C-alpha cells in the first residue's frame, strides 16, 4: 500500500463505485485515501533522515503516542513509521553512503510539516478538480502558501482555514476508521517483507516523486536534413521495403508507410491503423518527403502545415525548392498545445475523409 499511486486509486474507486456517486461517499473515499497518502509521505520523509535524526524522532514521538489525539500527531506517526520500518535493517541501510543527508537543523518540525504538505498536494489538487467536475463545486484561487489549507477545506478535510495559513497542520486532516497505529503496522510489514527479497527496489518504491511531467511530442532536430537523410531510404519495419511516402509519428516516434498497400490490414492503411493504436484514432505524422504534417482524427484528416521553415520563414512543401529548412519552435509549440488541449477539431477547418487510405 505504501508504494501505491494514491491519485490512481481515487480514480479507480470513483469509476467502480455505484453511480451516481453521492458526494458524502466521495468525501469519505477522499478522507480514507488521504490517510494512506500522508503515511506514504512519512515513510518517504524518513528515508531522507540520518540514523541519528531517525532515532531522535523515535524518542520524541514515543512521548506523543500516549497523548490525546496522538493519531493526529505527525510526530507520533513518524516515530511509529520509523520504528516499524527499522525492524528490517535493510530498509534504511540501502544506499546509505550514496545519500547526502541534510544537517539536523534542516529537519525542524516546520520543515517536516512543509515537506509533508508538498508531498500530499498533488493528491489534493486532483481530488479537488475531480470534485469540481462531479458536483460543480467552485475552484477558488488562493496564494501559494494557502494552497494546502484551501484545498483541505474544499474537500472537507478541515472545517475551516486556520489563520494564519502557516498554522495549519497536515496531520489534523487525518480521520482514521480504525486504530491508526495498527493500520500503519500492516502497511509497514508489507515493505519490510519485500525488502528481504529486493532491498533496493523496496526503498526506491518508498522514495517516489509524485510530480508528473505534461505530455509532449517527439523532440525534433533543428535541421530538417538530419531527419530526411535518416528516414528517406529507411526500410519499413513491417514490410521491410523502403516506402514511397514514409511518415514519422510525432507522438511515439514510429516509422510508418503512408498510403502503403504493402502494409494494409483488412483494407486499412498503416497510418490510420497506427493512429488508432497510438492515439485512440488521433495521429500526428510528419511526411518525410514533403516536410508537412498531417493530422488524422477518426475518419477524417487534414494538412496542418510544416514546422520546418527556410531562412525567410517560408515552408517548402514537397521539398521542391531544396532550401535548407530549420525547426520553428513557435509552430511546434502551437502544434503540441493543440494536441494536449484536444483542440484540433475547433482550430483546423479543412478536414476531409481519408477512406482508410493513409
pLDDT in tens, 137-150: 887 777 777 889 88
- The three-state secondary structure class of 51 is helix
- The three-state secondary structure class of 351 is coil
C-beta neighbour count of 137 within 10 angstroms: 14
Long-range residue pairs from 148-153, CB within 8 A, at least 24 positions apart, any chain: 148/117, 148/120, 148/121, 148/124, 151/121, 151/124, 151/125, 151/127, 152/124
pLDDT tens track for 283-330 = 999 999 999 999 999 999 999 999 999 998 898 888 888 889 999 999
Q: How confident is the model at residue 100 (pLDDT cuts 50, 70, 90)?
A: very low
| CA separation for the pair 1, 9 (Å, rounded) | 10
pLDDT tens track for 37-68 = 999 999 988 888 888 888 888 888 887 777 77
Q: Considering the chain, what is the average pLDDT of its residues?
A: 85
Q: How confident is the model at residue 200 (pLDDT cuts 50, 70, 90)?
A: low
pLDDT exceeds 80 at position 25: yes
| CA separation for the pair 183, 206 (Å, rounded) | 17
The pLDDT assigned to 104 comes to 45
Q: How confident is the model at residue 220 (pLDDT cuts 50, 70, 90)?
A: very high
Helix (H) or strand (E) holding 40: helix 23-46
Instruction: Answer whether 0.85 is exceeded by the pTM.
Output: no
Looking at the chain, how many residues does it have? 358
The pLDDT assigned to 41 comes to 92
Judge contact between 115 and 45, C-beta under 8 A.
yes
According to DSSP, residue 319 is labeled G
CA angle 122, 128, 133 (to 5 degrees): 125
| CA separation for the pair 36, 31 (Å, rounded) | 9
pLDDT tens track for 236-295 = 777 777 888 899 999 999 998 888 777 778 888 888 999 999 988 899 999 999 999 999
Give me 142's grid cell. 488562493
Where helices occur in 216-328 by DSSP H, the ranges are: 224-231, 270-279
| Direct distance between the N- and C-terminal alpha carbons of the chain, in angstroms, rounded to an integer | 46
Strand partners, 301: 296, 352
CA angle 215, 221, 222 (to 5 degrees): 115
The pLDDT assigned to 63 comes to 75
Residue with cell 458524502: 24
CA dist 247 → 109, 157, 256 (Å): 56, 51, 5
Better-predicted residue by pLDDT, 192 or 224: 224
Amino acid at each position: 500500500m505504501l508504494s501505491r499511486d494514491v491519485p490512481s486509486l481515487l480514480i479507480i474507486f470513483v469509476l467502480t463505485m455505484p453511480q451516481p456517486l453521492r458526494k458524502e461517499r466521495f468525501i469519505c473515499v477522499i478522507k480514507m485515501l488521504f490517510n494512506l497518502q500522508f503515511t506514504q509521505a512519512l515513510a518517504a520523509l524518513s528515508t531522507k533522515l540520518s540514523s541519528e535524526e531517525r532515532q531522535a524522532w523515535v524518542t520524541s514521538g514515543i512521548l506523543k503516542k500516549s497523548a490525546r489525539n496522538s493519531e493526529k500527531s505527525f510526530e507520533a506517526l513518524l516515530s511509529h513509521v520509523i520504528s516499524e520500518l527499522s525492524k528490517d535493517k535493510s530498509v534504511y541501510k540501502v544506499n546509505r553512503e550514496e545519500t547526502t543527508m541534510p544537517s539536523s537543523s534542516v529537519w525542524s518540525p516546520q520543515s517536516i510539516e512543509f515537506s509533508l504538505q508538498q508531498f500530499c498536494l498533488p493528491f489534493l489538487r486532483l481530488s479537488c478538480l475531480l470534485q469540481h467536475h462531479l458536483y460543480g463545486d467552485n475552484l477558488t484561487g488562493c496564494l501559494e502558501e494557502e494552497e494546502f489549507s484551501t484545498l483541505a477545506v474544499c474537500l472537507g478535510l478541515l472545517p475551516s482555514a486556520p489563520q494564519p495559513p502557516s498554522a495549519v497542520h497536515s496531520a489534523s486532516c487525518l480521520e482514521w476508521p480504525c486504530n491508526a497505529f495498527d493500520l500503519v503496522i500492516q502497511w509497514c510489514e508489507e515493505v519490510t517483507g519485500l525488502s528481504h527479497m529486493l532491498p533496493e527496489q523496496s526503498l526506491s518504491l518508498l522514495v517516489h516523486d509524485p510530480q508528473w511531467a505534461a505530455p509532449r511530442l517527439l523532440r525534433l532536430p533543428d535541421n530538417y536534413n538530419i531527419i530526411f537523410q535518416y528516414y528517406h531510404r529507411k526500410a519499413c519495419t513491417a514490410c521491410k521495403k523502403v516506402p514511397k511516402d514514409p511518415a514519422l509519428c510525432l507522438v511515439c516516434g514510429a516509422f510508418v508507410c503512408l498510403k502503403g498497400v504493402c502494409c494494409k490490414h483488412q483494407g486499412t492503411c498503416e497510418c490510420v491503423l497506427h493512429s488508432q493504436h497510438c492515439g485512440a484514432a488521433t495521429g500526428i505524422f510528419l511526411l518525410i518527403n514533403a516536410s508537412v504534417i498531417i493530422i488524422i482524427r477518426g475518419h477524417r484528416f487534414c494538412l496542418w502545415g510544416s514546422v520546418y521553415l527556410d531562412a525567410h520563414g517560408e515552408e517548402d512543401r514537397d521539398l521542391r525548392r531544396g532550401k535548407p529548412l530549420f525547426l520553428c519552435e513557435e509552430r511546434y509549440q502551437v502544434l503540441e498545445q493543440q494536441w494536449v488541449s484536444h483542440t484540433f477539431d475547433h482550430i483546423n477547418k479543412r478536414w476531409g475523409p481519408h477512406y482508410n487510405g493513409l
